[in-house]
A and B are shown apart, each in its own frame.
Chain A
């Protein structure tokens, strides 16, 4: 049997090997292309910054030179600390708030999304609340939450989680619910239980969807944490740094740009972290769903 099969199999193996090598080369090429693209974008950004300053003849108090912002980061502030160290300390707090919020949102969002997809009645009950979570203007409700819950970091984590909840819930509901009838029939033909259908079919097929939502949620959690830091009464966090920098803008314009840059880096780092986890978890999934 295997003897008769081998002549037709060997060309297929050869074809598949070529396919794999191509895939590996392709991955390498796309990785280096991506790095080059990032470098080009950074160059365009810096060029655009300096061009804008030159073209509009903006004074330092409107738009400082980029190198002035970098220099500021390495200077010493009024408390005698290095500015970049101080900024880092504030970023760290905001990061902890955002990460805690994201963790809470993952648990709550996954549970809500699963219920929405699987249970008709509970799902209908939850839906208005999920929509509500999306439409509540977070900037308006944050001060009230700070008054009720205090200015501690937990309040900010809660607001970050509130914002991150929606994309996770929706993408989970989409993913868990979006399973082909054939796959469900297949599982039924094995006499699979609901639990088996969930863990062997629904959850693994939903993972790419869930990670897409998670990426958005990661960015939202940082935004949520920063917005939560803005109301009066907070002492630390990158949001507070942004607020104070704005007040002293005419004296020290570089500090606002440094703070904005720090906030951007934090958001980027959060999203990158989710991406790395995604790549590790979805190793076996379709390649195109990763890129």
Chain B
């Protein structure tokens, strides 16, 4: 990874592999009704890297994410997360998963929603004070202090998704798996969330695998954009994004940004043709 060479502020990307897909194949159903969702996907994601998966609907982006999360199992090939099987990585709480819907529990307050993973994980040697401190730190990070005792239905969609972000980060996972997290938000909120996410990524030592439908979003946030073909999903092209860090609104107005958006768009239209 040398994409950060000409960056004004370098972001150190590790040399260790966080997530590795090798010849991965996933079939849903069986017999005549079987559909091949993804086929022979090879992809390595380095520690501290921010990688976006983009592609037409049904290209298996989410499938790839769920395979890494051990929410489904591959039909062939191998997935390795932090040098372990996805199952072991899940049980070790190596990753936080963020869904398109905030998936908050309505009967819990914002504070209790963020506390949920800590309740379940019973992290040894973590006192109640330490947990409270951690929750407060994260609510601060996503700018939700003052909303601790609100219930999710009292918040806007953007605020709800920020709660879910805080909840995913509260146990300090080394990997974040994000499945179109801001897809349901309006564009203004989405822009703000993107910059916020990018700041959080730069502040923490997190590897992010990010599924999106939006080309500008993918280019703005990522170190690399993985373009996938439609049914069955394959990797069409991996485009390195050599934009400077930190990614701000100025970056969004640069010529290089537009060139990269065009490059991804062209690659994506080729992928679409391949899928038809």
Residues on A lying within 8 angstroms of B by beta carbon are 1-2, 5, 8-9, 12-13, 16, 19-20, 180, 182-183, 185-192, 196, 200-201, 204-205, 207, 282, 284-287
Contacts and interface: CB of A to CB of B under 8 A. Distances in A.
Contacts of B70: 188
A8 B144 CA distance: 10
Closest 4 pairs (CB-CB, A-B): A5-B143, A189-B97, A182-B103, A190-B120
B134 to A, nearest CB: 15
B29 interface: no
A2 B140 contact: yes
Contacts of B145: 2, 9
Interface string B118-151: 0111000000000000000000110111110011
B77 to A, nearest CB: 22
Contacts of B156: 12
B116 A200 contact: yes
A13 B69 CA distance: 36
A180 to B, nearest CB: 7
Contacts of B150: 16
Given A20-B154, A189-B90, A286-B151, 18 more contacts: A8-B192, A16-B155, A182-B99, A182-B103, A185-B71, A185-B97, A188-B71, A190-B117, A190-B120, A191-B120, A200-B105, A200-B116, A201-B105, A284-B106, A284-B108, A285-B107, A286-B153, A287-B153
B101 A182 contact: yes
A282 B151 CA distance: 13
B170 to A, nearest CB: 11
A285 B107 CA distance: 5
A187 B103 CA distance: 11
A5 B195 CA distance: 13
Contacts of A205: 105-107
A182 B38 CA distance: 21
Interface residues of B, number: 39
A207 B106 CA distance: 12
27 contacts: A2-B143, A9-B144, A12-B156, A13-B147, A16-B150, A16-B155, A180-B103, A182-B99, A182-B103, A183-B105, A185-B69, A185-B71, A185-B97, A185-B99, A186-B97, A186-B103, A188-B70, A189-B69, A190-B116, A191-B121, A192-B120, A200-B105, A200-B116, A201-B105, A204-B105, A204-B107, A285-B106
B141 A1 contact: yes
A20 B155 CA distance: 11
Contacts of A16: 147, 150, 154-155
Contact of A189 (B95, B109, B141, B147): B95
Given A2-B145, A200-B120, A190 B140 contact: no
Contacts of B95: 189
Nearest to A13: B146
Interface in B177-213: 192
Contact of B107 (A182, A186, A191, A284): A284
B265 interface: no
A3 B209 CA distance: 30
Interface of B: 66, 69-71, 90-93, 95-97, 99, 101, 103, 105-109, 116-117, 119-121, 140-141, 143-147, 150-151, 153-156, 159, 192
A19 B150 CA distance: 11
A219 B95 CA distance: 49
A12 B70 CA distance: 37
A20 B151 CA distance: 11
Nearest to A19: B154
A1 B140 contact: yes
Given A2-B145, A16-B154, A189-B90, A286 B103 contact: no
A12 B189 CA distance: 13
A191 B173 CA distance: 13
Contacts of B153: 286-287
Contacts of B99: 182, 185-186
A13 to B, nearest CB: 6
Contacts of A180: 103
A1 B137 CA distance: 11
Contacts of A19: 154
Contacts of A5: 143
B72 to A, nearest CB: 10
A263 to B, nearest CB: 36
A185 B91 CA distance: 13
Contacts of A285: 106-107
Given A1-B141, A5-B143, A16-B147, A183 B103 contact: yes
B275 to A, nearest CB: 26
Nearest to B109: A284
A266 B147 CA distance: 43
Contacts of A207: 107
A191 to B, nearest CB: 5
